[in-house]
Chains A and B, each alone.
Chain A
Amino acid sequence: MHWINWVVVILYVTYVIVDGIRKSKGTDSLSGFFQANRSLPWWVVGLSVMATQLSAITMIGTPGQGATDGIRFVQFYFGLPIAMVILGVTLVPFLHGSGVYTAYEYLERRFDARTRSLTAFLFLLSRGMSAGTIIAAPGVVLSAIFGIPLLWAVVLIGVPTVLYTMIGGVQAVAWADVKQMFLIVFALLAIVVVLILQMPVGADEALRIAGATGRLQAFDFSFDLSETYTFWGGVIGGTFLMLSYFGTDQSQVQRYLAARSVDEARSSLLMSAYWKIPLQALVLMIGVGIFVYYQFVQPPLLFNPAHEQAVVAERGAQYGDLQQRYDEAFTLRSSAAITVADTPDGTAGAAAMEDFLAREAEIQGIRGEALAMAEEVTGEASRDVNYIVPRFALAELPIGLAGLFIAGVLAAAMSSISSELNSLATTSVIDFYRRWVRDDATDAHYLIVSKGATAFWGLFACVVATYAATLGSLIEVVNRFGSFFYGSILGVFLLAMMPAARGRGSFYGLITGMALVGAVNFGAPQVAFLWHNVIGAVTVVVVGLLLSAGQGPETPETAAAADAAGTG
C-alpha cells in the first residue's frame, strides 16, 4: 500500500485514541462510565447503535456476498424495522425507566437472582467469543493483504480500541461510534463513486448483466424453513432475532440506557429502523457493481493473496495451467458481456445472454477449481469472498481514499468491539462482581474494577482473535451454541412484561427453550437458524406461563407489574 495510505490509517488510529481520552470527562463515577450519566442525545445513541451492529464483516464480507451471491441477503433485515417499533413501545420504556445498568439486572428485580445470573453468564460466554471473532475477521484479511503477521493486525485493531474504551467508558465509545459511522459511510460512498466513474458500461447495461446472473433477486417468497434468506424468514425469524439482539443483548441495550430520556432512547432505535435496510441494500449493491466491473476488467483468479502465493509456491505448474484457462475464458466472457450490453432485448438479446451465461459458468468452474486447490494446499477454508472488496479498493481507489477505506474497515471493527468490551465489563462488574463478590464498595473502587474488566476482556478478545485459526472449531461451537439461547433470552424478557409470569417459570422456561432449540438444531439441522429464535422465544413464554400459573406475587416488581395490569 502507498505510504500516503498508511499515513491516513495511522492518523485515524491516533485520532481515535486522542478523541477517546478527550471524551473521558465526567466518567469518574460508575454512572458516568457505564451510562454517560444518561446524557447522550438520541442521534449519538442512534449512530452508536448502528455502528455497533455494523462490523468489519459488513464492510468486507457483505459486499463480497453481493458480488458472489447477489442482494438476497437484504431479506435478513426485513424484521429490523418491525422489531425496533415493537421495542420502542415495550422493552425500551421498561429498561430505561427502571434505572438499571444492565438488562439482566432488571430480571432479578422482576424474577430472581438465578435468572439474572444465567442470562448474564450466557451473554458473557457468547459476546466474549464474538469480540474475538470480530477482531479476527478483518485481522486475517488485513494480514493476508499486507503480508503482515496476524498478531500485528490484531494489535492494530485491538489495542487502540481497548485504550479508548478503558479510559472513556460508554461516552467515549458512543462518540467514537458517531465519527466511525461517518467514516464507514464515506468509505462506502467513495467506492460507489469510483464504480460509477469507472464502469465501462451504462447503468442499464450493468443492471442487465447483474440481473442475468440472478444477482438482483431481492425477494424470495417461498416458505422454506431450510432457506436462511427468504422474505418470511426475514420478516418473522428476523423480527425475533432483532428483538432479541436490540432488546436483550447488553452490547445494544447499554447504548440506549445512556440516552437522556425514554423518548430519546426510542428515537435512537428508530434511526436504525429508518436506515438499516437502505444501507444494507447499498452495501450489497456495491458488491453487485464490483461483480459487473470485473466482467470487463480482469480480476485475480484468487482474491486472497496469501492463498495465491501458497498455491503458486506448491503447485506452480498446475496453477499456471489453470491461470491460462482462466485468461482465455475471461476474454471470451468479457466479449459476451459487451455483446449483452450492446444487444437490445429480443431474440438476438436472448442468444447473447445465453452465450454470456455459458461463459460465466465456465469462469465459475475454473474459479471453483482454484479455490479447491487453495483449500487443499493451505488446509484452510478459502473465504475468498472476504478479499474481493479490499482488493478492489486498494487497486481502484485513488491514493488517500484507499487508505481511508482501510481506516473505514478498522473503524467498523473498532465500533463493534468497543461496545462489546464496554458491555462485557458492565455485566462482569454489575451482574457478578457487585452482585456476588462485593456490594458495598465505593464508586472509585468499582471504577477501577470496571477498567480492569475492560482490559481483561480486550486481552481475551485479542488472544481469541490471534488463535482464531486454531480455535476455529471452538468458536463455531460457541457461535452455534449462542443461537440456542438468543431467542430463549428474548422469551424471558417477554415474560418479564407479563404480570402472570414468576421467577420459577421464567428460569425453567429458559432452560426448556434452550434445550428445545438445541434438539431442533441437532435433530432437524435443515431448519435455518433464524427460525431458532422464534422456537426459543415461544417455548420460553409458553412453558414460563404454564409453570407460573397460580403463584402469588414474589417480588415488589412482580406485584407492581400485577398492579399495573389490574391483576394483583
Chain B
Amino acid sequence: MSQEPAPDRARARAKFRRTLVRVLAVQAIALLALALLQLRYDV
C-alpha cells in the first residue's frame, strides 16, 4: 500500500479530498433539508 509512486499517491490524496468535500456537501444539504422541515412544521 505504501509502495505506490509519489505522484500517484498525491493524485489519490487529491481525489480523496475532492470526494470528501462532495460527501460533506451532500450531508450538509440533507441535514439542512431536515432542519428546515423541523423548523417549519414541528410544533
Contact = CB atoms under 8 A, between A and B. Distances in A.
A365 interface: no
B38 A218 contact: yes
B43 interface: yes
B23 A85 contact: yes
Nearest to A353: B43
A312 interface: no
B10 interface: no
Nearest to A214: B42
A267 B40 CA distance: 36
A81 interface: yes
A343 to B, nearest CB: 14
A278 B26 contact: yes
A211 B16 contact: no
Nearest to B20: A85
Interface string B14-32: 0110011011101100110
A94 B31 CA distance: 32
Contacts of B22: 274
A93 B12 CA distance: 12
A274 B23 contact: yes
Contact of B16 (A88, A94, A277, A353): A88
A218 B20 contact: no
B17 to A, nearest CB: 11
Interface in A181-224: 207-208, 210-212, 214, 216-219
Contacts of A96: 1
B37 interface: yes
A214 B43 CA distance: 7
Contacts, number: 65
Contacts of B15: 263
A218 B37 contact: yes
Contact of B27 (A81, A88, A89): A81
A97 interface: yes
Nearest to A275: B26
A58 B7 CA distance: 43
Nearest to A97: B1
A262 interface: yes
A120 interface: no
Given A81-B23, A96-B1, A97-B1, A71 B34 contact: yes
Contacts of B26: 274, 278
B1 A218 contact: no
Interface in A87-108: 88-89, 93-94, 96-97
A74 interface: yes
Interface string A250-275: 00000000000011001100100110
B41 A210 contact: yes
Contacts of A74: 34
A276 to B, nearest CB: 9
Contacts of A414: none
Nearest to B26: A274
Contacts of B2: 97, 564
Contacts of B34: 71, 74, 218-219, 281
Contacts of A93: 1
Contact of A216 (B12, B19, B42): B42
Interface in A324-361: 353
Given A81-B27, A277-B31, A270 B19 contact: yes
B9 to A, nearest CB: 10
B1 A216 contact: no
Given A89-B16, A270-B19, A273-B23, A216 B41 contact: yes
Nearest to B23: A273
Contact of A219 (B19, B23, B27, B38): B38
B25 to A, nearest CB: 10
Contacts of B33: 281
Given A96-B1, A211-B43, A216-B42, A270 B12 contact: no
A43 to B, nearest CB: 13
Given A263-B15, A277-B27, A281-B30, A218 B41 contact: no
A207 B37 contact: yes
A277 B12 contact: no
Contact of B38 (A216, A262, A266, A277): A216
Nearest to B11: A263
Interface string A52-84: 000000000000000000010010000001001
A278 B28 CA distance: 11
A217 B36 CA distance: 10
Nearest to B29: A278
A74 B3 CA distance: 40
B15 to A, nearest CB: 7
Given A211-B41, A218-B35, 16 more contacts: A74-B34, A81-B24, A85-B20, A88-B16, A89-B16, A96-B1, A211-B37, A211-B40, A211-B42, A216-B37, A263-B15, A270-B19, A277-B30, A281-B34, A353-B43, A564-B2
Nearest 5 Cβ contacts at the A-B interface? A211-B41, A97-B1, A218-B34, A273-B23, A207-B41
9 contacts: A74-B34, A89-B16, A97-B1, A211-B37, A218-B34, A219-B35, A270-B23, A277-B31, A281-B33
